[in-house]
């Protein structure tokens, strides 16, 4: 890959819109689709989602834990999903939230961000709570292979505030935003993104987070079933200059198991989160 992740993502969003579809094979969803809670069921689920959204959305986000829980065969299903997505021209964000130090972090980087790895995705989610600089092996690997990362900055789960909000105006979240922005200073669009909950607007303002400096993408979970629509997206990401990728999982996946049902749900959600459109409820 000669183009950076940021460049490829910007081109894909320009062509297909900003929606990111989560691939979350929860046991309850598998059951609702009439599929067994097995590696084969997970693979059939994932293949159907990919068939439905290929050519319609820019990026998908497989939730790694829901493959990993089924052991090596579950991870093999994920490997095949990543490979098939690349063949279909759909960008992938592996939602693994990896974070460690030294050679261990380097091992995660090799697994998810190095050319030739069966698990290599276009981008990887990272947890910086051993210190942002502990992510350096992954940051370097992503830069070397023209891949991307999304660093957890401000999540919407209640427990996150006990770490992310600490420091007030000099909060942990603010330092993460500033560190990510520094990684993107040498190019536009940048490939070091952030994860910020779509319903976190109040915290963004209270903590004084300046998203206009990021110069990179923002992954925004929480759309649809979790309560966020166009209004919440506008409120949370006011002033952000990077690409905002609203992520929807259950709201779309519950429209399965047919490809047609998933396509209709994805199209409706895409319209709801399109920030170029006028304001409205934005729910799907």
By annotation, the residues acting in catalysis are 97
Residue 186, exposed/middle/buried by CB under 10 A (0-12, 13-18, 19+)? exposed
DSSP-assigned beta bridge partners for residue 195: 152, 219
Q: Give the H/E segment covering residue 18.
A: none
- Distance between CA 33 and CA 27 in Å, rounded? 10
Sorted by sequence, the CB contacts under 8 Å of residue 110 that are 6+ apart come out as 117, 141
Cβ–Cβ < 8 Å for 229, 272:
yes
* 33: nearest Cα among 282, 280, 250: 250
What size, in residues, is the chain?
284
Residue 124 β-bridge partners? 94, 149
Q: What whole-number distance in Å separates Cα of residue 193 and Cα of residue 243? A: 9
CA distance 284 to 281: 9
Main-chain phi, psi angles of 31, to 5 degrees: -65, -45
Q: Which residues contact 217 (CB under 8 A, 6 or more apart)?
A: 6, 9, 148, 150, 189, 190, 193, 194, 242, 243, 244, 245
Phi (first) and psi of residue 91, to 5 degrees: -70, 150
Q: What are 244's strand-pairing partners? A: 218
């Amino acid at each position: 890959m000669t183009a950076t992740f940021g460049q490829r993502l910007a081109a894909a969003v320009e062509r297909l819109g900003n929606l990111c579809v989560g691939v979350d094979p929860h046991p309850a969803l598998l059951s609702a689709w009439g599929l067994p809670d097995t590696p084969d069921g997970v693979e059939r689920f994932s293949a159907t989602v990919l068939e439905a959204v290929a050519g319609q959305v820019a990026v998908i986000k497989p939730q790694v834990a829901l493959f990993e829980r089924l052991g090596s065969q579950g991870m093999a299903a994920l490997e095949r999903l990543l490979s098939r997505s690349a063949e279909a021209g759909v960008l992938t964000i592996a939602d693994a939230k990896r974070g460690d130090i030294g050679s261990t972090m380097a091992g995660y980087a090799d697994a998810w961000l190095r050319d030739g790895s069966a698990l290599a995705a276009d981008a990887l989610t990272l947890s910086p709570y051993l210190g942002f600089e502990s992510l350096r092996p992954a940051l370097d690997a992503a830069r070397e292979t023209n891949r991307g990362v999304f660093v957890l900055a401000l999540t919407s789960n209640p427990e996150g505030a006990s770490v992310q909000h600490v420091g007030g105006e000099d909060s942990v979240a603010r330092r993460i935003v500033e560190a990510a922005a520094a990684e993107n200073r040498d190019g536009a669009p940048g490939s070091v993104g952030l994860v910020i909950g779509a319903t976190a607007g109040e915290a963004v303002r209270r903590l004084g987070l300046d998203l206009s400096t990021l110069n990179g993408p923002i992954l925004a979970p929480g759309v649809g079933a979790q309560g966020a629509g166009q209004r919440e997206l506008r409120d949370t990401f006011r002033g952000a200059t990077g690409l905002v990728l609203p992520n929807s999982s259950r709201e779309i996946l519950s429209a399965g198991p047919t490809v047609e049902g998933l396509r209709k749900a994805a199209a409706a959600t895409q319209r709801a989160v399109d920030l170029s459109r006028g304001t409205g409820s934005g729910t799907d």
